A and B are shown apart, each in its own frame.
Chain A
Amino acid sequence: MLGVPALYSIGYGNVGSSIYYALGITAVYALGATPIALMGAGVFFVFTAATYAEGAALFPEAGGSSSFARRAFNELWSFIAGWSLMLDYMVTMAISAVTVPFYLAYFFPLLKESNVASTLVGMGVMAFLMVLNIVGVRETSRFNIFWVILDLVTQALLVVLGIIFLLNFPKLLSYVKWGGSEDWPTLGSFIYGISISMIAYTGLESVCQMAEEAREPERMVPRSLMWAVVTVLIMYAFISVIALSAMTPAQLVNEWSNDPVAGIAHFLPDVHLAGLTISLSRIVAPWVALLAASILLIASNAGLLGISRLAFSLGQHQQLPAFMVRIHPKFRTPYIAIIAFSAAAILLLTPGLLAPGILLKLGDLYSFGAMLAFTIAHASIIALRVKAPDLPRPFAPWGNLRWRGSRIPVSAVLGMLGTFAVWLIVIATHPWGRTVGFIWLAGGIAIYIFYRRRRGLSLTLTVKAPAPAFVEEAGGHGR
């Protein structure tokens, strides 16, 4: 069973890994206002984390917002939430995988110069993880904790070095120019920046999925979630400010948008100590390159594990065809789901073969799926407060409104309005995210309706296949 350290490491490992790409993606639109955009998105992240903490403590099971929606509304809404989350897991897998080569470019510069080379390596990473997960190589929670501690220490070291050697408030203030400039965004561009910066906060769902494995989930999950949130916000605040002290927004966008943390390491100065000249950059940059690549690999793998479990949960609730979650007779892993979603993640990377800028496209898509899933999660928690006010809630966020005798959490209301507004902005202004997002949603709903109708099942009622029968149908006997 997992305790707070393991859950925290999973949470931070997932959310904290996004710093290696989210900073650059946000800077493309928010320029010198990137720290403000990240903190603006961070407010919604805090509200969403509070909602997830309440939901996961209430229903400690795989499924996250899909489970909340099942209890609050019906099976169709639960499917829409689950299907949107699947899109997010795929984007997290793809974006983490394709960021690996950008950091490895420290050793192999071609990976930064050629979008074809970096995309092919990203695809290779996905294929490698696919095989690893089909075979079912065991990864222990201690292994995760080790890497997360290493990551945390490295990020903290970068912050300390950055504060000592790079932090430059006059330079940061010099970017501010209302109305927009080369260094400061227009209002439209800033709002776009906030909407795409939501990619910084991937990973909430992964912690919730772990609720089923947690010791005392009602206490452990909210606590580890909150610690992960606080750490991530502090790291983002410092690292974004240090990045813009080290580089101008134009440098960050044009030269380091794919590997912004490597940019910070690159700009660390030489230190003269006792007659010796120590190049901090030469020491820190290769370390950051290796660590980022490892953390991103783990994050990509976590996405694949998350989507497999979610697919299995949807399959159990007859929301996905049983063949999708068939279990391999020898390796005992859901190999069809692993192959299908890895292939879909590889497919998401294909635009990277044609032109640079794949991270921005994936960021668009993430916001589309995540904002929809988060809105449904907030709405579910609000609805459950009205429908089932007496449910024992081991965790309830601070601050409530009274409405028709029910106590409605302010964080869920503000979170729902905020994430829904961002979703509308994504639809209005992110053409790639909108097109691919709606195709994904429409395709999923079509599969859901076809499958349920074919089995003579209601579109809205919960039908859970008895587990043994389900596994028989899905996997059969393996030995």
Chain B
Amino acid sequence: MIEASRILVALKDPDQVEELTALACMLAQAGKGKEIHALHVIQIPRSLPLETELTAEIDAGEAMLARAQTVAEERFNLEIRTELLQAREAAPAILEEAKEKGVALIILGYNRRWRFGDRLLNATTLEYVVRHASCQVLLSVSPTKGA
């Protein structure tokens, strides 16, 4: 039984923004009056200072978060809080954010249509979050292409 007082949705793939946000909103509505946080982490290569502003990545991240807000407002009449973070690695950043916000549930996505390299990297992130999270983790897997 998921008791989601606060939900954190970690967004990475633009194709999954709607699906993950909707999932968070449905869970929140089922639990009534819950708080949703949407997060996108920009991973900065180690060859650059952490505060480097990569405009293309920032634009893409902001677009995803804005889309999540629109979905929550228009389809579920809910407000969600958004956060754009810069980190070396996504997984520890997601966990720290979850801890800081006192989150009870983290929602993550996995897209089977990702390329091999992306699948490998994201599997590492997912595994780290699942292994180290001190709250519940919900993994939403996108269907394969013709499914």
Interface residues of A (CB under 8 A from B): 1, 61-62, 133, 136, 138-141, 212-213, 304-305, 308-309, 312-313, 327, 331-334, 337-338, 467-468, 470-472, 475, 477-479
Q: Does B55 count as interface, using CB distance less than 8 angstroms?
A: yes
B56 at the interface (CB under 8 A from A): yes
A78 to chain B: closest CB distance in Å?
Answer: 15
Chain B residues 81-135 with CB under 8 Å of chain A are 88-89, 92, 96, 121
B89, closest chain A residue (CB): A140
Q: How far is the CB of B129 from chain A (nearest CB, A)?
A: 14
Distance of A62 Cα from B47 Cα, bound (Å)? 11
- Chain A residues within an 8 Å CB radius of B50: 62, 212-213
When the two chains form their complex, are residues B48 and A467 in contact, meaning their CB atoms are under 8 A apart? no
Decide: B57 and A332 in contact? CB cutoff 8 A: yes
> Residues of A contacting B55 with CB < 8 Å?
468, 471-472, 477
Residue with the highest number of chain B CB atoms closer than 10 Å, among A61, A136, A212, A472: A136
Contact, CB under 8 Å: B47 / A305: yes
Q: How large is the interface on B (under 10, 10 to 19, 20 to 34, 35 or more residues)?
A: 20 to 34
Nearest to B49 among chain A residues (CB) is A62
Name the B residues within 8 Å of A212 (CB-CB).
Answer: 49-51
Is B45's beta carbon under 8 Å from chain A? yes
User: In the complex, are the beta carbons of B54 and A327 less than 8 A apart?
Assistant: yes
- Max count, chain A CB within 10 A of own CB: residue among B50, B52, B92: B52
- Whole-angstrom distance from the CB of B62 to the nearest CB of chain A? 12
- From B52, B53, B54, give the contact of A478 (CB < 8 A): B54
Q: List 30 A-B contacts (CB under 8 A).
A: A61-B49, A61-B51, A62-B49, A136-B45, A138-B46, A138-B89, A138-B121, A141-B88, A141-B89, A212-B50, A213-B50, A305-B47, A308-B47, A308-B48, A309-B47, A309-B48, A309-B49, A312-B48, A313-B49, A333-B45, A338-B47, A467-B51, A467-B52, A468-B53, A471-B53, A471-B54, A475-B54, A477-B59, A478-B54, A479-B56
**B interface: dominant SS:** loop
Residues of A near B45 (CB, < 8 A) are: 136, 138, 331-333
Instruction: Note all chain B residues with C-beta closer than 8 A to A62.
Output: 49-50
B27 to chain A: closest CB distance in Å?
A: 29
A338 to B47, CA, bound (A): 8
Interface string of B22-59 (1 = CB under 8 A from A): 00000000000000000000010111111111111101
CB-nearest residue of chain B relative to A133?
Answer: B47
B60 at the interface (CB under 8 A from A): yes
B125 to chain A, nearest CB (A): 10
List A contacts of B52 (CB < 8 A).
312, 467, 471
Instruction: List A contacts of B59 (CB < 8 A).
Output: 477
On chain B, the residues within 8 Å of A479 by CB distance are 56, 60
Which B residue's beta carbon lies closest to that of A311?
B47
CA distance A234 to B59 in the complex (A): 50
Contact A467 B56 (CB under 8 A): no
Residues of B within 8 A of A332 (CB): 45, 48, 54, 57
Residues in B whose Cβ lies below 8 Å from that of A334: 47-48
A333: chain B residues at CB < 8 Å are 45, 47-48
Q: Establish whether residues A136 and B47, one from each chain, have CB atoms under 8 Å apart when the complex forms.
A: yes
Nearest CB to that of B92 among chain A residues? A1
**Which B3-27 residues have C-beta < 8 A from chain A?**
none
Query: What is the bound-complex CA distance between A333 and B49, given in angstroms?
Result: 11
Complex: A213 Cα to B108 Cα, angstroms: 25
Cα of A432 to Cα of B4 in the assembled complex, Å: 67
B47, B54, B57: most-surrounded residue (chain A CB, <10 A): B47
Q: How far is the CA of A61 from the CA of B50 in the complex (A)?
A: 9
Closest A residue to B57 using CB positions: A332
Q: Which residue of A lies closest to B88 (CB)?
A: A213
Give, as a whole number of angstroms, the nearest-CB distance from B117 to chain A.
Answer: 10
Select from chain A the residue with minimum beta-carbon distance to B91: A140
Closest CB of chain A to B84's CB: distance in Å? 14
CB distance from B126 to the nearest CB of A (A): 15
Closest-CB distance, B19 to chain A (whole angstroms): 22
CA distance A478 to B59 in the complex (A): 11
| Chain B nearest CB, measured from A139 CB (Å) | 7
Cβ contacts under 8 Å, A304 to chain B: 47
Instruction: For the complex formed, measure the closest distance between the CB of B39 and the CB atoms of chain A, giving whole angstroms.
Output: 15
Q: Residue on B with the closest CB to A309?
A: B49
Alpha-carbon distance between A468 and B62 when the two chains are bound, in angstroms: 15
Q: Which residue of A lies closest to B60 (CB)?
A: A479
A445 to B5, CA, bound (A): 58
Measured CB to CB, the closest approach of chain B to A132, in angstroms, equals: 10
Q: What residues on B are CB-neighbors of A472 within 8 Å?
A: 55
How far apart sit A1 and B53, CA to CA, in the bound complex (Å)?
18
Return chain A residues, CB-CB under 8 Å to B57: 332, 478
- Given the complex of chains A and B, what is the CA–CA distance between A1 and B49 in angstroms? 13
In the complex the two chains form, what is the Cα distance from A314 to B144 in whole Å?
47
